[in-house]
Structure 1
Amino acid sequence: MTPLPAAPLTVPGPDGQPVFGRFAGAATHVDWSRLGAPYARGRWWRRFHHKRWHYTALATEQFFCGIAIVDVGWTNTAFAYVFDRSRRALAAGFSRDGLPGLTARLADHAGGGSRFRFAGKRIEMSASKLSLRCEGLEIDAAFGAPGAPLLLAVGPVQGGAVHATQKSSGLALTGMLRVGAQACSLAGGVASFDYSNGLLARETAWRWASAHSLALGFNLQAGYFGAHENALWLDGQLIGLGAATFVFDAADPMAPWHVFTDDGLLDLHFTPEGCRREDKNLLVAASRYVQPIGSFSGWVRASAAAPRRVVTRLPGVTEDHASRW
């Protein structure tokens, strides 16, 4: 197992080149206006192709929460949901499109703060905390601890230009969740986050899977970004993974999924417990999104020669997403 190189501080680098690769650590600044040839694009092209999102997952024995702020350049949106694993049902949630340039502010790197505020709804998130207020749902969460490094992945995008993403390992979680009159402690749970920032194609699609405990976690993607962001966190080590295959029924996402990597380091079966889905058609733009919530079982290993580590009912999500944006 070869350790990943240390992350560059800025993307692109001082010479304007994107510094492609997988790295351990965090970039402190992502600024695509500094791109050099052959990846440089004009200001107006960047305006309509620059996509950023900041997503946080919170998992306890009873609840799984997914919260995201998305800026697609010409508009923005946010969503949040709480899934009750004991009842196998969504306990709360909202989704709201914002006003361009007014309601959302996305950080320019994973350590910065992102926010969404509109019509009395508020989300603020960073790499260590999350605060949410909307009708019938409140979250105050803090997370983080010394442990496995962040993954930084930077790579080219067909039909677009370049993309960078930061993924965290599992982070120790504290705080409170309030759904209606019910208040629940988040202590003892696990958080993780995904910060992504790129110049993407108008038509973009992907499959995604992510799940974390404090000792073990993974991130898998197949689609527009290839295998760049595929990684395993195991006992404090960050391990790059090969290309991922997703075997599932797109017409029935609540059927079991099978995900595995071509390097023989991960083979997992996903059992959905529930699902959040949302389709939008804004004429000039459209999206199809489905995110099943459930658990993964199977095995992972640190190298082809290492023994398999059994994975049993690790809570997480899969996703099938296509956007014209």
Structure 2
Amino acid sequence: MKQTTLSAAPPRLPGTDGQPIFGRFAGQTGAIDWRQLAPPYARSRLWRRFHHKRWHYVALYTEQVFCAVAIVDVGWTNTAFAYAFERQSGRMLAEFSQDGLPGCTASLPHRPTGVSQFRLLGKQIHINTADQGTSSLTLRCGEFAIDASFGPAPAPLLLAAGPVADGAVHATQKSGGMPLQGQLRVGGRTLALDGGIASFDYSNGLLARNTAWRWASAHDLSMGFNLQAGYFGAQENALWLDGRLYPLGAARFEYDRNDSRAPWQISTDDGLLELSFMPEGERRGDKNLLVAASRYVQPIGTFSGWVRSAPDQPRRAVQQLAGVTEDHASRW
């Protein structure tokens, strides 16, 4: 069987006729503006206000630490979080989580490039992604600070777009592994990020009020993958391998919900990926604000097993590739 690669990403979403362009693509898109949707996917301004969700997530990892930073706009409010996890000790060095004020504290662009930022009470997060594929991250949250630059990506970006049950449409732009430089400062310590790996996820969709997913992501500069099972089906499942990008089938996650630090087993139904995930630690949260709720666990650890680009291609060993899994359910 011939190896399958992806078509080039469209320059914008939706198309000039107002219709969404569904599929998986390689490369960077421009504006993702669901206000331009035509029937049958068009929704009223009021409906979009409560169902339009955007987030910008960045992961930074070295042999010492794993950091994750996210800014989330759920339409009627916004939030942000960040953490730094020390891998050898298995403990959190720093955590930040803050709900914002509607229309005031967070801003995200209607495109994967540009500036995403969160500011409140002296705390700030600033993510800047340039058209050339380079990005920077600045975080100032008390004694927790990050200054990082990363990119460009050695492999194509993934763009996935598709319909969403009980919502309308969703699109996500994700990177493979990118070279990382910078530093983390926490508790009087300064830790170098130079030589590490970064990846990002910019997502923009009109989602259902109740949205749930399982997710897995890990990267180095020659290999990486993104897997999701839940509200978006197999739309964003992809493998980065030796500078090329390949679609993957539906993902299956097997794990003990009562013991999230037990090993996870993850595979795809096309026979292109089979992995074991061994958690080193985790971040979790359980919020119930009556009008909204969020329950999640995000274990941090390593993946081992194998991947391949096509059923007739040799298996490539995966050995302790650092990344995360996630089990998440939101009422938003």
SS at 1:30 equivalent: coil
> Given the alignment of the two structures, is residue 168 of structure 1 paired with residue 170 of structure 2, yes or no?
no
The residue correspondences of 1:1-325 to structure 2 (distance < 5 A) are 1-127=3-129, 128-325=135-332
Which of 127-136 and 163-172 deviates more? 127-136
Output the CA distance in 2 between the equivalents of 1:146 and 1:119: 34
SS at 2:85 equivalent: strand
Output the CA distance in 1 between the equivalents of 2:253 and 2:299: 14
Which of 143-152 and 12-21 deviates more? 143-152
Percent of residue pairs identical:
67
SS at 2:8 equivalent: coil
**What is the CA-CA distance between 1:252 and the residue it aligns to?**
1.4
**What is the CA-CA distance between 1:134 and the residue it aligns to?**
0.5
Q: Contact 1:260–1:268 (CA<8 Å) still a contact in 2?
A: yes
Give TM-score, length-normalised by structure 1. Answer: 0.99
SS at 1:29 equivalent: coil
What is residue 132 of structure 2 aligned with on the other side?
none
Output the CA distance in 2 between the equivalents of 1:206 and 1:251: 17
Q: Which runs of 5+ in 2 are unaligned?
A: 130-134
SS at 1:86 equivalent: coil
SS at 2:249 equivalent: coil
Q: Contact 1:274–1:294 (CA<8 Å) still a contact in 2?
A: yes
Output the CA distance in 1 between the equivalents of 2:5 and 2:261: 36
Q: Contact 1:110–1:126 (CA<8 Å) still a contact in 2?
A: no
SS at 2:46 equivalent: helix
Output the CA distance in 1 between the equivalents of 2:157 and 2:126: 21
Q: Contact 1:260–1:267 (CA<8 Å) still a contact in 2?
A: yes
Q: Contact 1:122–1:132 (CA<8 Å) still a contact in 2?
A: yes
Identify if the C-alpha distance between structure 1 residues 146 and 88 changes in structure 2 by more than 3 Å, giving closer, same or farther: closer
Output the CA distance in 2 between the equivalents of 1:290 and 1:2: 33
Amino acid aligned to 1:109: R
SS at 1:113 equivalent: strand
Amino acid aligned to 1:216: M
Q: Which runs of 5+ in 1 are unaligned?
A: none
Q: Contact 1:300–1:308 (CA<8 Å) still a contact in 2?
A: yes
Amino acid aligned to 1:125: I
Output the CA distance in 2 between the equivalents of 1:194 and 1:201: 20
Q: After superposition, give the CA deviation of every residue in 1:26-67 in whole Å (9 maximum; x if it has no partner).
A: 111010010011100000000000000000000000000010
Amino acid aligned to 1:204: T
Q: Contact 2:5–2:246 (CA<8 Å) still a contact in 1?
A: yes
**What is the CA-CA distance between 1:163 and the residue it aligns to?**
0.1
Count of aligned positions: 325
Output the CA distance in 2 between the equivalents of 1:285 and 1:179: 32
**What is the CA-CA distance between 1:113 and the residue it aligns to?**
1.1
SS at 1:33 equivalent: helix
Output the CA distance in 1 between the equivalents of 2:258 and 2:42: 39
**What is the CA-CA distance between 1:2 and the residue it aligns to?**
2.3
Output the CA distance in 2 between the equivalents of 1:275 and 1:146: 27
